[in-house]
Amino acid sequence: MACEPFADFLHRFRQDRQHGASELARQALAWLGQSVAERAQVDDAVRQMLRDQISQLCALRPSMGVVAHLLQRWQNQLESFDPSANDVGALVAGANELSALSQQAVGGCVHHAHSLISPGYTLLTHSCSSTLMQLFSSLRETDCHIVICESRPLNEGVMVARQLNDWNIPCILITDAQAGLYTAQADLVMVGADSLLGDGAVVNKVGTRLLALAAQRDHCPFYVVAESFKQRPPSADALILEQMDVAELNHDLPHEQMANTYFDITEADLISAWVDERGAHRQFSPVVW
């Protein structure tokens, strides 16, 4: 099957709100790998085109640090590529290897997060994290209960609740505004992340910060579960919190009277622990670059 035209992939990549940041980063790697695989050679012109495509992909989802991290690592392989050897397969293998490393890291996150959850616990979560969905799948038969914020405006939490129902995991779906009522009843809060900043602050779906504030007030542990690839590389551009189409809010007000900021920043002092493939850390533990 021929590689999807870049313009079409770019549009899908921008509009996709159903897949988490890690999944989107792996989709980008897969597209780049397939694009290279279909070429007889990677000369200077192709290399520049790939640089431009990576730049566009990173710029489209600036709140997702894992996109910049994984694509920049693949670009490093591209820069060291020897055109005279013309080993296009090495670049394809590099993209596949980075994707596999990301998936392995997610598996490690799930393992360590699972160890924090005892049978019968009530867990509160927000938005839809592909990492947490793997965790929830592992909680079947543990008698855990999960409370899910619907996560306006596209209500990703509804998809989570439907999947939990299919898995026969007891759950309840609440509006985002109810989150503060449930932190006092939950044993812990767990969320994913779109980016981790250098000081341990987390960028995630808007509403995460309010949930963290409520959890702190009610002495409910607040855990961030995210692979270390989500730590923003020092070379990344300045953080931009993405703005989405206000039409998603579904109101008939003038557009200039509405805002649809999609992510917020939760400060490190609101986070009880960071869980990644290396374990659970009470102090933020950045990767070594």
Active-site position among 194, 218, 245, 269: 194
- Burial label for 56, CB within 10 Å (0-12, 13-18, 19+), is middle
Residue-wise over 105-134: b if at least 16 C-beta within 10 A, else e? bbebbbebbeebbeeebbbbbbbbbbbbbb
In the 8-state DSSP scheme, what is residue 269? G
Give the β-pairing of 202-205 and 263-266. Answer: antiparallel
How far is the CA of 4 from the CAs of 91, 113, 219, in angstroms? 18, 36, 49
- Alpha carbon of 72 to those of 94, 135, 153, 166: distances in Å? 12, 28, 31, 38
Q: Look at residues 197, 224, 194 and name the one whose alpha carbon lies nearest to residue 212.
A: 224
Catalytic residue list contains 176: no
Omega before 5 within 30 of 0, i.e. cis? no
Cβ atoms of residues 275 and 109 within 8 Å: yes
**DSSP character at residue 268:** G
Q: Catalogue the active-site residues.
A: 194
